[in-house]
Amino acid sequence: MRYLSRVSGPFIDRIDLQIELPRLSSVELQSTTAEETSAEVRARVEAAYAIQLKRQGKVNARLNNKEMSLYCELPAAELQFLARASEKLALSPRSYHRVIKVARTISDLKGAPN
């Protein structure tokens, strides 16, 4: 938190995803469960990239507001949820639109139409 307080809000606002990773337990560290390989992740990313280019001719991050309304349409319930979250978290317009673009990208990575 001390480090983040040194970074300007507008700069942080341009980072699409910020996640906090909890400390792993010793059991998790010693796990031998097979994880997704880098090649598998790469294949999913390439497939999502191809979906985006086919659908709109560019990646989701480059969509303008008009294009977002065409390719990132949200159902009413999700729009209401996003509006409440936007108010509660005091999201900037840039952050609001980034949330929608990231959600569209997650759907593309999963191969989901919406």
pLDDT at 53: 97
Per-residue burial over 74-103, b = 16 or more CB atoms within 10 Å of its CB, e = otherwise = beeeeeeebeeeeeeeebeeebebbbbbeb
pLDDT at 41: 94
In total, the chain counts a number of residues equal to 114
Per residue in 29-75, pLDDT (tens digit) is 888 888 889 999 999 999 999 999 999 999 999 999 999 989 998 99
Name the band, by pLDDT with cuts 50, 70 and 90, for residue 85: very high
The 8 Å CB, 24+ separation contacts for 89-95 are 92/13, 94/13, 94/14, 95/13
pLDDT at 33: 87
Cα distance between residue 73 and residue 101, in whole Å: 10
Helices (H) and strands (E) in the chain, counts: 7, 0
pLDDT at 17: 76
